[in-house]
Each structure stands twice: as C-alpha cells, then as structure tokens.
Amino acid sequence: MSLPRTPSFCLDGRRALVTGAGRGIGLAAAAALAEAGAEPVLAARSGAEVEAAAEAIRAAGGRAEAAALDVTDDGAVARFFEDRPAFHILVNNAGTNRPMKMTEVGPDDYAAVMDLNVRAAFFVAQRAVRRMLDDGVQGSLIHIGSQMGHVAAANRSLYCASKWALEGMSRAFALDLAPHNIRSNTIAPTFIETSLTRPMFADAAFRASVEAKIKLGRIGRPEDLMGAVVYLAGDASALVTGTSLLVDGGWTAD
C-alpha cells in the first residue's frame, strides 16, 4: 500500500518579505521563515533595527537581508519592488494601534491607523503580486490581522475598523488571485506581549481582564505565531486561501 506523504514544511529556495520586522511579531515571522529555509527580507522604517535583526538570523545560520522601508511611502514601495525579483511569500505585518473611545478619535488618529493597517497593506500586497505575476511566481500572502478583526472591544473602534477591513481585503485578494495560484490568508492573534504592548500589561487589572478572556489562560507570545506563519507560507497549506487562522487561545470560541 502506498501511503500519502505529509506536504513539506521546508521553504528552501523561497524568498520572503516581512514588513515591520524589527521586533515582536515581525521578527518572529522572519526568524521562523529563515529557520524553515526561506530567505527573508526584513523591512521596517528603522534600518538599524532590521539590520540587527537580520544579522541575528544570519548568526543563527539562516539567510536574511535588511531593508529600510516606510511602507506608507508609495514611491519608496514602488522603488523597493522594482529593484528585486519576485517574492514567494509576503508577511504583511506592519501595523499600529491607538486605543481610545470612539468619541475621542480625531482625523490624525484615523489616518495614522488606517493608512498603515489598511492602505499600506493593500499597496504593498499589490506591488508584491504584480512582481509575482510578471515573474510567473506562485506564492502566499499572509496578513497579520487580529482577533479584533472578528470581534469587538471597548476603546478599539479604530483598530477594529482596520482589522475587519484587512479580513475583507484578504478574502477578496484570494478570489482575484486564485487563478494564478497565489493564496491570501490572515493570521488573527489574541493579545501578544511584545515591547510595544508590554506597558499595557503593567496594569494588573487590565492584564487580568485579558487573561480571563483567553481560555488557555495566558497572554500570547510572538513564538505562538511562528508555526502559523510557516504553515501558511508553504506547501502544507496549498489548498488554504481566503480564510483566517485564529491564534487566540479560545477568545472567540464563545
């Protein structure tokens, strides 16, 4: 009897772009892809930060490149993709949050969150896809969303708006790109403790309220998302597109 074989999780020979890759979730995604054999380009506005991150990946035996890139700068994004061969994997991770009541949100807050979380994600993906199509590359778009793209929370109206938009955008991408075997999915994490979110958790009451809603009883770590990134990047998820992989410890289960 011939047994079916598990599709490979190896990403040897594949090029990846990870935005917002200097720290936190972006750095974890880049490290995971490199460990699986891919060659990630780590992009962020802080060139020194991503260069240090890329050097750490190289020191660990992986391959990585750093690029200083402001993904909200359309001209810079266009030039970035003009100078490079197509990527097989995009991790659309750059994002921001400004928690506040909806009555307090101003035009500048709206622009800052929506321009980065939605507009930049859209046009980075568009540029990546155009190069994929030009070079005949089949690949995977992975957008880092949030459980707040599936549920709502107080003081998160602006963030929820951006992450719900990202979910719809990704699903529509999947329909447009399926004929070219380019897949589009989101990863939707719960609260992840990083250098940016750690100050919030210094508030013991807030931390307790979050942990009470995460059924597994703890706040997430960047490492909790690394397997999901590798899965969606490669052949193991070859028939997965237009969906969202919730990594939320059960927050949205009830």
Rounded distance, CA 155 to CA 38, Å?
Answer: 38
Set 159, 164, 191, 231: catalytic member? 159
Rounded distance, CA 38 to CA 10, Å?
Answer: 8
- 231 as an active site residue: the answer is no
- Name residue 43's beta-bridge partners: 19, 67
Centre a 10 Å sphere on the Cβ of residue 202 and count the other Cβ atoms it contains. Answer: 8
Token digits of residue 166: 């990202």
Question: Which residues have C-beta within 8 Å of that of residue 62, sequence separation ≥ 6?
Answer: 31, 34, 35
Work out the angle between the directed axes of helices 24-35 and 226-233 (0-180°, nearest 10): 50
Active site residues: 159
